[in-house]
Amino acid sequence: MGSSRERRFSHLPPGEGREKLARILDQAEQCRRTYRQQVTDFLEPYLRKAAQDLLRGPEGVPHVADGGYEGAERQRLVLLPHEDDWPDSRICWLLGEPSGNVETIGHRDYLGALLGLGIRREKVGDLKLTERGCAVALDADVAPYVESQWRQVRQSDLSIRLIDDGNVPAFVDEGEERTLTVASLRLDALIAAIWHLSRSRADEAIGRGLLKVNGLEMTDGSKGADEGDILSLRGFGRAILRGVGGETKKGRIRLTVWQPADR
pLDDT tens figures, 86-121: 999 999 999 999 987 777 888 889 999 999 999 999
How confident is the prediction for the chain on average, in pLDDT? 89
Give the pLDDT of residue 174. 72
Decide if pLDDT at 137 tops 80.
yes
User: Rounded CA gap, 68 and 71, in Å?
Assistant: 9
CB 253 within 8 A of CB 247: yes
Least confident range of 5-14, 23-32, 64-73, 196-205? 5-14
pTM of the model: 0.83
Decide if pLDDT at 261 tops 80.
no
Give the pLDDT of residue 2. 47
CB 43 within 8 A of CB 87: no
CB 123 within 8 A of CB 42: yes
Give the pLDDT of residue 139. 96
pLDDT tens figures, 18-42: 889 999 999 999 999 999 999 999 9
Residue 188 class from Cβ within 10 Å (0-12 exposed, 13-18 middle, 19+ buried)? buried
What domains are there in the chain, each with its CATH number?
Answer: 4-79 (3.30.1370.160), 91-163 (3.30.70.330), 175-260 (3.10.290.10)
Q: Is 235 left (phi over 0), alpha (psi -120 to 50) or beta?
A: left
